[in-house]
Structure 1
């Protein structure tokens, strides 16, 4: 697919590209095929796609499996997708406002074999990932295109500039890895950033169970609130814990009082969250 061909499709269907929806269409057929190949789909695999747009990736998905559910917020895109007569289900709504488990039950019955494959809208990549991880257990694998900067954060390691609260959250639930990078020239309109395709596979079991998931999620955000501050200072600012208790728990975890959160691995952060939940 060339840029001229995309422009022609848009003109013929009176479709306006909407910046507020982050619409950048992936043109390169080889990349589209590689994304689908990386997903290792079977005919009975249940697939969801977020933001199918003009349906370029959708076409390859519906050829690979018979069960494709697309979430598309743009009514013009939905009209175009319906005209293509693909073997897909479409929900014309904001993905972030949906009850995922209810949708999945209606479309896929009770199957847990669900894979997310999508060129994600870059402006809401993180909210989408958080929604998937926090609201449903039925998606076991994601193959998603995103901004390279965000991809590096997902895969970030301790004591690096890419490591933050998102790194910890993603790596607690999943094993993420960058599969390949994609140039802006592969899109229309061209984005102003580099892109990467990331494989995110759910862990069967975490290395260490959290005592309370809601507490862990908030604790993880709070300790990274100010990167230049120490773990101790971030906890002290976020909670009404006695200073002595904070120092005691940090010391019991064999950590120095001056340690920063970015120096801790996922298991250490989970252990700290559990200790503060139990003793706080």
Structure 2
């Protein structure tokens, strides 16, 4: 029996009621091209294979693919396993037709934020994403201006996607039992972005710098990028903390910097 490895952040889902609830939320169909990140021992894999047209799995732990290939051998016409690091994987390479990808995964807590940012860079190839994450990460993804968890992750996720928290998964649903609650979240990339930054790298920089010290004001955190006087001209109060600004405000700042660089 394969034992969960701490270095891969493995916690294997084993609660059948939760598994059914997740599958109902995803609702895979025969027309879907599914991608599962970190299938583990295949708790969700078989349910998805029964319903979906194709499933590609990406697994970093080299001991697991042989187990999964043996377990799901009868699905070999629609099941592929890639022994790879999802953080470096080119998800665009999986598309073989005009079907966008539907991505699912029980993401390790230690890499979940970086992996979500990596996936957002492929959002044009993705129909939707369903992730099991530490509850606090889901709270950050969905947070609105002024809320405790509002910050870089939520702002950039909401730039690309509609974020919908679905339900909480208790620790006892896993083996080994983690020390935190988990939650399922649905991310649906916007077909048309509600707000478009002139340069996405500049927007990412502004958001990252603004939140380097959450307790400080925009005047302090953004002083190397933009003056307080310029912020006031944009209708933004430089004495505010960064969590008071909406996505549109960050785009306004970023677009001003982009325009000044190209002028």
Shorter-chain TM range is: over 0.9
Matched, 1:164 2:164: no
Q: Quote how far apart the aligned CAs of 1:270 are.
A: 1.2
Give the RMSD, CA atoms, in angstroms.
1.4
Are residues 1:149 and 2:136 paired?
Answer: yes
What pairs up with 1:86-125 in 2 under 5 angstroms?
87=75, 88-102=79-93, 104=94, 108-125=95-112
SS at match of 1:41: coil
- Say if 2:123 and 2:160, in contact at 8 Å, map to a contact too: no
CA distance in 1, matches of 2:51, 2:219: 51
CA distance in 1, matches of 2:244, 2:45: 41
How far, CA to CA, are the matches of 1:206 and 1:86 in structure 2? 41
Distance apart, 1:60 and its partner CA? 0.7
Say whether the 8 Å CA contact 2:102–2:127 is kept in structure 1: yes
Paired with 1:125 and 1:172, the residues of 2 have a C-alpha distance of 18
Q: In 1, Cα distance between the equivalents of 2:120 and 2:36?
A: 16
Residue 137 of structure 1 aligns to a residue whose secondary structure is helix
In structure 2, what is the Cα distance between the partners aligned to 1:135 and 1:199?
A: 16
Count of matched residue pairs: 257
Residues 32 and 99, structure 2, Cα contact 8 Å, conserved in 1: no
SS in 1 for 2:36: strand
Residue in structure 1 matched with residue 58 of structure 2 by the alignment: 71
Map of 1:246-257 to 2, 5 A cutoff?
246-257=227-238
Instruction: Give the TM-score, by structure 2 length.
Output: 0.93
**Corresponding position of 1:188:** 175
Alpha-carbon offset, residue 16 of structure 1: 3.2
Note the residue ranges of structure 2 that are not aligned, 5 or more in a row: none
Structure 1 residue 45: Cα displacement: 0.5
Partners of 1:164 and 1:223 lie apart in 2 by 9
Matches within 5 A, 1:25-36: 25-36=12-23
* 3-state SS, counterpart of residue 181 of structure 1: strand
Q: CA deviation at 1:159?
A: 1.1
Correspondence 1:264 to 2:245: yes
Could you tell me how far apart the structure 1 residues matched to 2:217 and 2:257 are? 16
Q: Which residue of 1 aligns with 2:257?
A: 276
Unaligned 5+ residue runs, structure 1? 1-9
CA distance, structure 2, for counterparts of residue 59 and residue 83 of structure 1:
12
After TM superposition, the structure 1 = structure 2 runs for residues 205-220 of structure 1, keeping only pairs within 5 Å, are 205-220=192-207
**What is the alpha-carbon distance in structure 2 between the residues aligned to residue 233 and residue 277 of structure 1?**
20
SS across alignment from 1:196 = strand
